[in-house]
Amino acid sequence: MAQIWSDESKLARWLEVELAALDGWAEVGTVPVEAAREIRELAVAPSPARVAELEAQLHHDTAAFVDAVAEQLGAVGRWFHYGLTSSDVVDTALALQIQESGALLLEGVERALAAVVARAEEHKLTLCIGRTHGVHAEPTTFGLKLAVWAFELDRARTRLARALEGMRVGKLSGAVGQYAAIDPEVERIACERLGLESAPASTQIVQRDRHAELLAALAVCASSLDKFALEIRHLARTEVREVEEPFGRGQKGSSAMPHKRNPVVAERICGLARVVRAAAVVGLENVALWHERDISHSSAERVAIPDAFLALDYMLDRFAWLIEGLVVRPERMRRNLDSSHGLYFSQRLLLALVESGLERDEAYRLVQRDAMRAWEEEEDFPTLVRADPDIRVDLDAVFDESAYTKHVDVVFDRLHNLVKEPVHA
C-alpha cells in the first residue's frame, strides 16, 4: 500500500496516462505514429528528486514532471502532454492508484471476513451473556456475536466495491472539460487502454462527489472495525475477561507493571478509525469548488486519500490478526453468565405467565418483584421463583437454557450462503 502511494508510483502513473493519451492522438492521426512510438521507447518516469528540483523553480508539480520527462525526449518531446491540462493527468492517474489500492483493501476485508466466520463457527454454541446498556440482558452465543460482525464486513466489501467502481473513471477533456484542445476520441482510447471509463461530463477535474463516496465507504468500514475492536476491549477488561488479545512470549504489557496484558492492538484500531473518519470529512468538503474548479481540494486530498487507504489497510491486517489469534475463555463466559443469579430468565417467565392467562402488567410486576429481590439480595432468581406461591407455570420449561441456542442455525445458514459469494471490484 505504501508503494502505491509513493512519489515514485505517482509519477509512474502520470507517465502511464500521458503515454495512453499519446496513443490516442496517434490513433486519430494528430500525432505521428513514429513520434508516439519513439516517446514511448524513450520516456522513463523521472525521479521525485528531479521533479522536486524543477518544481522549486516552476512552483507547479505537473509542469515540473512534464519538463523532467521532456528532457529525455529530444525533438519529439514537443508532442508530450499535447492538448492536456494538469488535472487530466493527475485525476486519471489518481483513479489508477485508487483501483490498485482498493484491490488491496478488498483482499484485507476478505481475510478479515474469513477470520471472523471461522471463529464464529468455532463458537457457534459457546453461551455468553448478552449486554444492553452494559448490563446483563439475555444469553446469546459468542458465535452469534461474531456472525453479526461477518455480515457487517460483507456490507463493507459491497460498499467499498461499489465506491471503487464509481472511481473507475478518467478524464482527458481539457482546461474546463469542453474538449476545446483535445478530441473526445483521444479520451475514449486512452481511458480504455488504462482500464477506465471516460467521465460522462467533467470540468477541469473529475467531480469530487465520487471521491467523497469512496472516502465515506472507507470511513464506514473503519467505523465497523472500531466497533468490533471496542467490543474486544470491553470483553478483555479484568472484571469481564471473556477474551484476550494474543500475547507473545517475551512481550511486555507495561514498562512499570509486569502483570499487564493490555488490548493495545484493539485500541490502535479504534484510534486509527478516527483518522479515516476525518478523511471522509475532507472528502465531503472537497465536493464544493468554485466554478469549473479551484485548487483547494488538491492539497487536502493529497494527505487525506493516501492516509485513509494506508490506515484502513493496516487496520484490516491487524484486525484479521487479532481475530485469528483471539484467546476466547468459555469458562469465564459461563462464570459471568452465572453472576447475575439467573435473572436472564425473566422474559421467559413473563411470557409463560402471559400464556397462562395473566394480564401482561400483572405478570410483569410478579416477575419484577422476584427479580429485584434477586438483584438486591444476590439470591438465585429461579430459586426465589420456585418458592413464590403466586407463580404457577411450568418452571422447568421456563428455566431451560437451550431456548437461547435453538435457532442459532437460522443465522448460520445465512452465514454459509454469504461466504459462498465474495464480492470483488
3-state helix, strand, coil in the chain (%, to 5): 65, 5, 30
Say how many C-beta atoms besides its own lie within 10 A of residue 26's C-beta.
Answer: 21
Can you list the positions of beta strands (E) in 233-300? 243-244
* Cβ atoms of 352 and 393 closer than 8 Å: yes
133 noted as active-site residue: yes
Say how many C-beta atoms besides its own lie within 10 A of residue 181's C-beta.
Answer: 13
Judged by DSSP in three states, 305 sits in helix
How far apart (Å, rounded) are the C-alpha atoms in residues 270 and 224?
10
How far apart (Å, rounded) are the C-alpha atoms in residues 11 and 46?
7
How far apart (Å, rounded) are the C-alpha atoms in residues 127 and 142?
6
Query: Which is the catalytic residue, given 6, 47, 254, 296?
Result: 254
Cβ burial 237-271 (10 Å sphere, 16+ → b, else e):
eeebebbbbeeeeeeeeeeeeeeebbbebbeebbe
297 noted as active-site residue: no
Q: How many residues does the chain have?
A: 425
Residue 128's H or E segment, with its range, is strand 127-132
Report the phi/psi class of residue 245: left, alpha or beta, with left for phi > 0 and alpha for psi in -120 to 50. Answer: beta
**Phi and psi dihedrals of 188, rounded to 5?**
-60, -45
All 3 cell numbers of residue 214?
469512496
Query: Which is the catalytic residue, given 59, 133, 259, 291?
Result: 133
**Residue positions annotated with a catalytic role:** 133, 254
